[in-house]
Amino acid sequence: MCTLFHFFQILSSVLTMKLMLPFRTYIIQHFYQKQSSEEQSLWALLLALCLLTTVGIAIAFENIGGYLPCHLCLIERVPYYSAGILSLITSIIARFTRWFLLVRFFLLCICIIMIFSFILAIYHVGIEYNLWPAPPSCDSGSTKLIVDAQRLLKQLNHIHPPSCSQAAGYFSFLSFAGWNALASLVYTVLSFFVASRDLLSNHNSS
């Protein structure tokens, strides 16, 4: 019994070493192996396409699918606009210049923006599950009685957004805010991955 225990102990140690060695090698390569400006440009361009495609899908759901965004949904698009545009600018700078530090700074800014997007999406999900109250701006509209005909017609001409506490729909058990949280997390990891590549190499700062 003791021999069998030692056998499994040795086996687990060997497997751990074999699994950790490639991971350690990858980490060393990730932080030390230099990447070209073309690689940085392509990564930034890929990030921009992903970000702008994501917000484009949200706009398509609104205009084609008829899913009206709430107040928070509209705010949650802002990080995608800003990060997407910044990614395009970063891609251009990386392609036509050698300003490695500036490119890395912009990529870190994109990462921070997507962290904020993730926090905002989690906040929205919490409102949908009644974990905390919604802000006053998320009300679905006024419930006061309108007796004036002109005011009534004017009210009908304005489409009121839905309440932030009610999800417009669920897709694979996730609401739009839930999918936004997942996408923001993925883009946070991706932007940090790109920004941290060759972080410890000796690139010129020019």
Contact 164, 134 (CB under 8 A): yes
State how far Cα 167 lies from the chain centre. 19
Quick count: other Cβ atoms within 10 Å of Cβ 89?
14
134 by Cβ neighbours in 10 Å (0-12 / 13-18 / 19+) ranks as buried
Top pLDDT among 170 and 88 is at 88
- Which pLDDT belongs to residue 10? 52
Q: Where are the domains of the chain?
A: 37-135+163-198
Alpha helices in the chain (DSSP H): 2-32, 37-63, 71-96, 100-128, 149-156, 176-196
162 by Cβ neighbours in 10 Å (0-12 / 13-18 / 19+) ranks as middle
- Which pLDDT belongs to residue 35? 78
How far is Cα 74 from Cα 81, in angstroms, rounded to an integer? 11
Q: Which residues contact 44 (CB under 8 A, 6 or more apart)?
A: 87, 88, 90, 91, 94, 103, 106, 107, 194
Hey, which residues does 174 pair with through a beta bridge?
171
128 residue type, one letter: E
List, for residues 66-76, the tens digit of each pLDDT value: 888 999 999 99
Average pLDDT for the chain: 81
For 198, the token pair is 């060759």
Top pLDDT among 87 and 172 is at 87
For 193, the token pair is 């991955």
For tokens 């590549």, the residue is 197
Lowest mean pLDDT among 23-27, 39-43, 58-62, 86-90: 23-27
Question: 179 vs 25, 57, 58, CA distance in Å?
Answer: 33, 12, 10
Please check the confidence at residue 34 and state whether its pLDDT lies above 50.
yes
| pLDDT category of residue 26 using cuts at 50, 70 and 90 | low
Please check the confidence at residue 155 and state whether its pLDDT lies above 70.
no
In eight-state DSSP terms, residue 174 is E
Residues 15-27: what's their mean pLDDT? Answer: 59
- Which pLDDT belongs to residue 11? 47
Domain 37-135+163-198 class in CATH: mainly alpha
Residues 131-143: what's their mean pLDDT? Answer: 72
| pLDDT category of residue 31 using cuts at 50, 70 and 90 | confident
| pLDDT category of residue 146 using cuts at 50, 70 and 90 | very low
The SS3 of residue 22 is helix
For 158, the token pair is 């304005």
